[in-house]
Amino acid sequence: MRRVCVFAGSSAGARPTYAAAARALGAALCRRGLGVVYGGGSVGLMGVLADAMLAGGGEVIGVIPDGLATRELAHPGVTEMRVVGSMHERKATMAALADAFVALPGGLGTLEETLEILTWAQLGIHDKPIGALDVEGYWNGLQRLLAHAVEEGFVRPEHAALLLFGSAPDELLDRLAAWRPPGFRRAWLGPAQT
């Protein structure tokens, strides 16, 4: 791994522990010499993460759609800011630049990004590890939903298992580093893009 794409809220959330987790993740990534790719904002958990990375001397690549650059207050101090034409281009660019994915707590955008990148793994579009930093049980509901979808026959157990969980940054980063692509890829999907 050289870079981790982090999905994070444009809000700081209701608990101070969410921002503390974003700072801790930034510090852990810097200690490991890993860069970050993220949504490019200077506000919310996105901004907290970027500031922590920059304070630690880490590489920070922001990717933000032109239409959101002013509304989300694009971070002025990142290593590189890529302004793209759409949300679809944002997600594709972030995925292409990253070797792994981490979801911090966040809202609908964070949920959508996390589930889309998980779907891309299921379909064989990429062979990169995906994790969620479970701050004070934030992702418990998603874990229950995935288990329910497996029980009801909509998601295969091996596909649900593509999303790794950890309650501390180093624990989760260790799991991502140790992860190996599963061998269940269907032949008609072709090779994964890396």
Domains along the chain with CATH numbers: 3-178 (3.40.50.450)
Model confidence, pTM:
0.92
Place of tokens 């269940």: 184
Nearest to 50 by CA among 10, 107, 99, 1: 10
Instruction: Please state, in angstroms and rounded to a whole number, the distance separating the CA atoms of residues 79 and 99.
Output: 18
- What are the residue ranges of helices labelled H in 124-184? 140-151, 157-160, 169-178
- What are the residue ranges of helices labelled H in 43-192? 44-55, 87-97, 108-123, 140-151, 157-160, 169-178
Averaged confidence pLDDT in the chain = 93
For 67-89, the pLDDT digits (tens) are 887 765 889 999 999 999 999 99
- The DSSP bridge partners found for residue 62 are 38, 81
Question: What average pLDDT does range 37-63 have in this prediction?
Answer: 97
- Structure confidence at residue 188 (pLDDT): 38
Q: Provide Rg for the chain, Cα atoms.
A: 16
